[in-house]
Amino acid sequence: MTEIDKQNKNYYHQQYLDLVSSLGEKRPSLFLHACCGPCLTYPLSILLDHFDVTVGFFNPNIQPKEEYDKRLDTLKQFLEAYSKKRNLPIPLVVNEEDFLAYENAFKERWNDKEGGKMCLACHAYRMSLAYEYAASHSFDYFTTVMTVSCKKPSRELNEIAFQLEKKYPSCHYLYSDFKKENGQLKGIQIAKEYSLYRQDYCGCLPSLKEREEYKRKKQAELLG
Ligand code: SF4
């Protein structure tokens, strides 16, 4: 592949389609990093057609702890119901989160806006934790659901994982761009169908603060 190939908007999705169509009857094991239940819905629904999926919740960025627990409970609620619907076991691995290590790694960056360099480093941090788990537990493939979100850049996420794959060559990275084919919209529909809690901020305390400021501003505008 060349850098020019990667400029193509459909490049990562096409890589995904080519890979799954080459699997035939094989069902390799896949470790799927999930940031929350709603983002998991659509990627899981298509991946289960081709892989034996284990979901990994590796998200020390989510604050405060009550919110972390709520998102994890939501994800468990979905997995339990969806596993019954598909009549398939879908194991879940929950990371032993080191919230303090995450905070220390990012405290210098707290003035960045959501979507800036801090976010790319945050994605890399979580994917690195999950990829290491996948490789050390002999999974055939690793990927993350995060490319489903329109707020998260698919190319950068794929490039982060492409670099991680060099560190863990025994576990292949499954290229993906789950936004394609209306992935985000389909995910929202599934989340509604299962009555899942949908958070309104990304996860870290600065993103919560940004969201609260936005809501305050909107409220003030409404009140004139
Ligand atoms: S806004 Fe989201 S992606 Fe960015 S640093 Fe915070 S939790 Fe991580």
CATH number at residue 71: 3.40.50
Which residue, by CA, sits nearest to atom 2 of ligand 1?
202
pTM of the entire structure?
0.94
Q: What proportion of the chain, given as a percentage, has pLDDT over 90?
A: 83
The tens digit of pLDDT for each residue in 4-14 reads 677 788 999 99
Q: What proportion of the chain, given as a percentage, has pLDDT over 70?
A: 95
Cα-to-centroid distance, 61 and ligand 1 (Å)? 7
| pLDDT of the residue at 116 | 72
Cα-to-centroid distance, 122 and ligand 1 (Å)? 6
Cα-to-centroid distance, 112 and ligand 1 (Å)? 10
Containing 30, the helix (H) or strand (E) segment is: strand 29-33
Average pLDDT over residues 119-142: 97
| pLDDT of the residue at 3 | 64
Containing 93, the helix (H) or strand (E) segment is: strand 92-94
Of residues 169 and 5, more confidently modeled: 169
Average pLDDT over residues 148-174: 95
Strand partners, 29: 52
Determine whether the shortest distance from the Cβ of 210 to ligand 1 is under 6 A. no
| pLDDT of the residue at 96 | 98
| pLDDT of the residue at 115 | 64
Domain that holds residue 163: 3-222
For a mutational test of ligand 1's pocket, the pick from 128, 147, 204, i.e. the residue with the most ligand atoms closer than 8 A to its C-beta, is 204
Determine whether the shortest distance from the Cβ of 203 to ligand 1 is under 6 A. yes
Cα-to-centroid distance, 37 and ligand 1 (Å)? 17
DSSP H helical ranges for the chain: 3-7, 11-22, 37-47, 65-86, 99-106, 117-136, 154-167, 183-193, 205-222
The tens digit of pLDDT for each residue in 38-88 reads 999 999 999 999 999 999 999 999 999 999 999 999 999 999 999 999 999
Number of domains in the chain: 1
